[in-house]
Amino acid sequence: QEQLVQSGGGLVQPGGSLRLSCAASGATLDSACIGWFRQAPGKEREGVALFNRRDSRTYLHFADSVQGRFSASRDNTKNTAYLQMNSLKPEDTGLYYCAASFQSLCALQPWAMDYWGKGTLVTVSS
């Protein structure tokens, strides 16, 4: 059974950086659509980043709120996906989830994902 194990969250000052990891077991990520989502207290879960690489083509999509500050990648040798977060702001605080889809549709929507990590907390505060 596919499992996604997350790590890398923590407390960081505004302007700082964090890298979140999402390690998969039970299936390989090399053909998966990877989504990153976050949920702030009292708010709905929102899509942050989408990474898809198939047939030697890489597709990336980021929410407007993180465009230019976040990047996403995948290391097939480690079966792990990453979300690099730079220039962090207090409004980036939340519980961050990675998710994977092995369907033909790759969309940054919770309903489009098949498997989910348990989440890792990111707190941006001085």
Could you say which residues of the chain have pLDDT below 70?
none
Residues 39 and 94: beta-carbon distance below 8 Å: yes
pLDDT (0 to 100) of residue 54: 75
pLDDT (0 to 100) of residue 44: 94
pLDDT (0 to 100) of residue 88: 98
Q: What's the CA gap between 23 and 114, in Å, rounded?
A: 15
pLDDT (0 to 100) of residue 26: 86
pLDDT (0 to 100) of residue 110: 94
pLDDT (0 to 100) of residue 96: 98
pLDDT (0 to 100) of residue 103: 86
